[in-house]
């Protein structure tokens, strides 16, 4: 009888150890993607973020929401709400910044690929509270039909960055029969009417649901660009000239799948990432530590 009790105790101890190891492995699985905070309900449809030199995070909601820019601290708490004069939120999808702390709001969400009123708002004076808004209107040089055929639905954009006086736009490919290619366009950052010039393309992956580019960010040194999908980041570096895909491209699996649409650099080694509220996930601010 004592022998049987000893065996049972050993089995129980082994089971506890196994459960501990398993829990530890599950915890470590997403160790690089760290939850900072759940976002306030005002940001349940957060679609883009960026950071200015005040080290605050700026955020927007997408279509159906007001023309408000939210200023957050690095814990995801709302510090202030800034109504952007002269701007309408048709489908705001991403934010970018330049070295002078101007913010660019991309009103270029285009699910149906049929919009002819694409605009990027340049917002100056955010930090000095002397806000001036100007418009950068554009069309794609290779779009001839509105909408194009279903297999050519590749004129929706949810991601862009500012670099060397230009804005670089990455498409969200909705062409079900085409390869999962994001196209890269260049648009002048000068207010006015412009043609978006097609300058490159990159096949992100084979699986449709995992290939859609939903956000972009560039670091302060302007030598790294991060492209976001629902479950991964593409880190671009060593690029020269316009074609940002000509350098090195590192694919980073986040090991977490949700409707991620916002990304920015806190510094050269840390990314902030946000996702929208869905049935399965709360709107959340994460950080990811680059290796």
pLDDT in tens, 51-96: 999 999 999 999 989 999 999 999 999 999 999 999 999 999 999 9
**Res 178: pLDDT:** 63
| Cβ–Cβ < 8 Å for 183, 171 | yes
Size (the chain), residues: 291
pLDDT tens for each residue of 218-240: 999 999 999 999 999 999 999 99
Q: Take residue 113 and report the two structure tokens written for it.
A: 């690929």
**Res 169: pLDDT:** 98
**Res 291: pLDDT:** 85
Give the span between the Cα atoms of 276 and 46, in whole angstroms: 5
Q: Take residue 91 and report the two structure tokens written for it.
A: 């489908």
Q: Tell me what the mean pLDDT of segment 254-266 comes to.
A: 96
Q: Tell me what the mean pLDDT of segment 165-193 comes to.
A: 92
pLDDT at 26 > cutoff 60: no
Whether the link from the prior residue into 147 is cis, omega within 30° of 0, is: yes
- 3-class secondary structure, 200: strand
pLDDT at 174 > cutoff 70: yes
| Cβ–Cβ < 8 Å for 240, 248 | no
Q: Tell me what the mean pLDDT of segment 153-164 comes to.
A: 97
- pLDDT range class, residue 23, cuts 50, 70, 90: very low
The residue that leads in pLDDT, 106 or 207, is: 106
Element containing residue 227 per DSSP (H, E): strand 224-228
Cα 131 to Cα 67, 85, 100, 177, 206: the distances in Å are: 14, 8, 14, 44, 43
Q: Take residue 58 and report the two structure tokens written for it.
A: 């700026």
| Cβ–Cβ < 8 Å for 61, 89 | yes
Average pLDDT, the chain: 90
- pLDDT range class, residue 17, cuts 50, 70, 90: very low
pLDDT at 21 > cutoff 80: no
Q: Is 222 left (phi over 0), alpha (psi -120 to 50) or beta?
A: left
- Total-model pTM: 0.89
Q: Tell me what the mean pLDDT of segment 261-286 comes to.
A: 97
Contacts of 29 (CB under 8 A, 6+ apart): 255
pLDDT at 97 > cutoff 70: yes
Q: Tell me what the mean pLDDT of segment 207-226 comes to.
A: 90
């Amino acid at each position: 009888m004592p022998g049987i009790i000893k065996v049972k105790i050993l089995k129980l101890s082994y089971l506890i150890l196994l459960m501990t190891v398993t829990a530890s492995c599950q915890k470590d699985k997403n160790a690089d993607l760290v939850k900072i905070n759940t976002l306030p309900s005002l940001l349940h449809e957060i679609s883009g973020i960026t950071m200015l030199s005040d080290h605050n995070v700026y955020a927007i909601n997408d279509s159906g929401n007001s023309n408000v820019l939210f200023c957050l601290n690095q814990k995801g708490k709302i510090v202030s709400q800034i109504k952007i004069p002269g701007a309408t939120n048709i489908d705001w999808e991403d934010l970018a910044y330049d070295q002078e702390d101007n913010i660019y709001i991309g009103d270029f969400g285009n699910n149906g690929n049929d919009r002819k009123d694409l605009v990027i708002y340049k917002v100056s004076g955010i930090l000095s509270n002397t806000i001036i808004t100007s418009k950068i209107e554009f069309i794609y040089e290779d779009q001839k039909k509105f909408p194009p055929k279903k297999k050519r639905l590749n004129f929706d954009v949810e991601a862009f960055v500012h670099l060397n006086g230009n804005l670089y736009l990455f498409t969200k490919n909705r062409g079900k029969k085409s390869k999962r290619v994001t196209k890269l366009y260049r648009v002048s950052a000068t207010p006015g009417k412009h043609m978006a010039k097609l300058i490159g393309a990159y096949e992100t992956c084979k699986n449709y649901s995992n290939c859609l580019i939903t956000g972009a960010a560039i670091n302060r040194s302007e030598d790294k660009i991060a492209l976001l999908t629902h479950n991964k980041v593409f880190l671009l570096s060593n690029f020269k000239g316009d074609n940002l895909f000509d350098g090195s491209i590192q694919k980073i699996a986040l090991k977490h799948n949700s409707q991620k649409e916002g990304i920015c650099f806190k510094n050269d080694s840390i990314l902030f990432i946000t996702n929208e509220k869905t049935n399965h996930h709360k709107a959340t601010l994460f950080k990811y530590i680059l290796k």
